[in-house]
Amino acid sequence: MFIKQISIVLDNVPGAMSHVSEILGREGVNIRAISVADTSDISTVRFVADDPVRALNILKANGFSTKETDVLAVEKPDHPG
């Protein structure tokens, strides 16, 4: 199945991602999966939220530039191994 992935670029400073997660958490949006690629100056954060439309609207309302991409999601049983 295809799901929406959200991408944002943050300054690579302590607390930047925490700020994003606090904004989303305050609004009841949960981050389900996350990937971060960083350089010395910036971090590209890609994540899947439980409500991507709401997450995009919240981020845009808080001044973040966002990109939305369809990605393939595969569900599998959650067990050790």
- Number of structural domains, the chain? 1
Q: Is residue 61 part of a domain?
A: yes
DSSP 51: S
Query: Can you say whether residue 63 is alpha, beta or left, with left for phi > 0 and alpha for psi between -120 and 50 degrees?
Result: left
Residue 75, pLDDT score: 85
The domain in which residue 30 lies consists of 2-72
Look at the alpha carbons of 43, 59, 28, 74 in this order and tell me if their dihedral is positive or negative. Answer: negative
pLDDT for residue 63:
97
Q: Could you list the mean pLDDT of each consecutive 10-residue stretch along the chain, which spans 81 residues?
A: 97 96 98 95 97 98 97 90 76
> What b/e readout covers 7-23, taking b as 16+ CB neighbours within 10 angstroms?
ebebeeeeeebeebeeb
- State phi, psi for 59 to the nearest 5 degrees: -65, -45
Is-contact 8 65, C-beta < 8 A?
A: yes
> pTM for the complete prediction?
0.88
Residue 52 maps to which CATH number? 3.30.2130.10
Q: Which two structure tokens, joined as six digits, stand for 70? A: 């369809």
pLDDT of residue 33: 95
Per residue in 5-15, pLDDT (tens digit) is 999 999 999 99
